[in-house]
Amino acid sequence: MPETQMTIPKDILELLIGRCMTDRSEYDGLAELCAKAGGRLAGTKAHTDAEKWTRGRMKSIGLSPVRLQSFETPTWERGSCKVTIVRPDLGEIPAEAHGFAPSGARVEAPLVDLGPGLRDDFDARRKALKGKLAFIGEKPPAGTKAPHRSEQFQWAVEAGAAGMMLASKVPGLLPQTGMCAQEEASIPSVGLSLEDGAKLKRLIDSGKRITARISLKNDVGASKVANVLGDLRGREKPEEIVVIGGHLDAWDLADGAVDNGTGCAVVLGVARALAGLPQPPRRTVRFALWAAEEIGIVGSRKYVEKSWRKMDAHVAYLNFDMPGDPDRLLLCGRQAEVSALGEMRRGLEALGVTQPVSTGICLATDLKPFVFAGIPVLSVLGSLVGGAGSCYHTAADTFDKVHLPSLLRTTACAAALTYALAECEDLPFERHSGDQVRRAFEEEGVADAIEGADCRMVE
């Protein structure tokens, strides 16, 4: 049980909340980012424009130094995608290729219904899948964790499938995109709308044999991209670092306003709030907008790899990816340490933080490499307001979905957490060893993710 409570002086808390709740600068900044660099997929001109915009924004806030941390990574740019139901003759249906779908593909094959696409579903129909199209058109049963699309895609490849068709789980006639591979895939994979997926499922259930044709053309290559980093130097312990970040890149179908423009706005809003204090906190706060999260959580992983020898100086990481209306704090994989957040949680109750602290480990966002490195990882969680979650990875992820009150409340909570970690005399959390990280993965039910992971594990 941790002995040190994470706290923040009442006058500083009130000052930060007041500023964050009344300053819409980064909401307006997000509108500007969406207009200048919407659909900023890593490796595209839009992403380069977003890097330049972010660098200028950080400098105007007063961070120093502000720098680009460049690296080369495989990149993918969308071309054409056409899905036709040829038997029965239903014609073309809307679809979007998944990230790293082949540069060229034309496949025609019968569909094999895999229900919700759980591992057991693939195992049960493994022989039937060879040379066919894996079709996933159902939600998992209540209480069952849905596999990530990249896992389903890998199972399809292993079974010898000719391709994969994945229906959305949210209404609106909106096919979803998303990454299925980290390099050019060997078979095509596409997202369908919930409604078209349901129609195909009804036909299959009625005894119809469905055959589909998938035709794709995309650009696959490699590009130099950059994380954007800006520091607020600590006044007493500048060598110790609290990192707060979120991914800058976004899928190319829309503005990337919710995913993850909102996270970018929170990070920059915290920077603005802390830079405006009478004096900076004890430790350095590093503000990071990561590149290439959507195509493999690349930017944050590159940062951890390049900083590995100095990771002991990183006292905490805070991640913001599609933040909602705040209702709870997150302390990844540290069930025995949540009591250290008791006073902080009480201080943020007026902003909506009333639920128990979550300790879940989500490995589909930029906190992943920090968890593997043993660094304490925190965030502020909540539900998206007004159906904004339905726009995830679709053409509907536009600026009008951003809920200003939620954004300001999350920014206020994030500012308080960041300041408390950077200012406290005694740190409430320590870096975990490899054994502690493995134990945390077991406790959170994600131990299978360790084997074959692309992130370095602390010893």
Matching residue, tokens 């590159």: 302
Rounded-to-integer distance, Cα 357 and Cα 338, Å: 7
Check residue 336 and give its pLDDT: 95
Do residues 192 and 175 touch, judged by C-beta distance below 8 A? yes
Kindly state the percentage of the chain with pLDDT values over 70: 99
Q: In sequence order, what are the beta bridge partners of 219?
A: 77
Rounded-to-integer distance, Cα 160 and Cα 126, Å: 8
Task: Tally Cβ neighbours within 10 Å of residue 158.
Answer: 11
Q: Which helix (H) or strand (E) holds 49?
A: helix 45-61
Check residue 310 and give its pLDDT: 97
Cα torsion angle, 116, 119, 125, 128, sign: positive
Average pLDDT, the chain: 97
| Total number of residues shown for the chain | 459
Please compute, for residue 419, the number of CA atoms within 13 A of its CA located in the half-sphere on the CB side. 30
Rounded-to-integer distance, Cα 102 and Cα 163, Å: 11
Do residues 275 and 63 touch, judged by C-beta distance below 8 A? yes
Can you say how many angstroms the Cα of residue 78 is from the centroid of all Cα atoms in its chain?
A: 20
Terminal CA-CA length for the chain = 23
Domains plus CATH for the chain? 10-64+233-449 (3.40.630.10), 81-219 (3.50.30.30)
pLDDT (tens digit per residue) in 306-336: 999 999 999 999 999 999 999 999 999 999 9
Task: Tally Cβ neighbours within 10 Å of residue 397.
Answer: 28
Question: Three-class SS of residue 48?
Answer: helix
Check residue 386 and give its pLDDT: 87
Rounded-to-integer distance, Cα 120 and Cα 148, Å: 14
CA distances from residue 100 to 41, 106, 183, 187, 316 in whole angstroms, order as listed? 12, 15, 6, 10, 32
Does residue 66 register a pLDDT over 70? yes
Rounded-to-integer distance, Cα 156 and Cα 130, Å: 9
* pLDDT bucket at 452, cuts 50 / 70 / 90: confident
Does residue 3 register a pLDDT over 80? no
Q: In sequence order, what are the beta bridge partners of 163?
A: 133
Rounded-to-integer distance, Cα 216 and Cα 233, Å: 49
Does residue 436 register a pLDDT over 50? yes
Does residue 387 register a pLDDT over 90? no
User: Which parts of 173-305 are beta strand (E)?
Assistant: 189-192, 211-232, 237-247, 283-290
The first and second tokens of residue 445, run together, are: 């039910």
Q: Is this prediction's pTM over 0.75? A: yes
pLDDT (tens digit per residue) in 232-265: 999 999 999 999 999 999 999 999 999 999 999 9
Check residue 1 and give its pLDDT: 40
Check residue 145 and give its pLDDT: 86
* pLDDT bucket at 2, cuts 50 / 70 / 90: very low
Cα torsion angle, 341, 315, 289, 358, sign: negative
- Vertex 75, ends 92 and 321: CA angle to 5°? 85
Does residue 197 register a pLDDT over 90? yes
Can you say how many angstroms the Cα of residue 142 is from the centroid of all Cα atoms in its chain?
A: 23
User: Which parts of 137-192 are beta strand (E)?
Assistant: 163-167, 189-192
pLDDT (tens digit per residue) in 136-159: 999 999 989 889 999 999 999 999
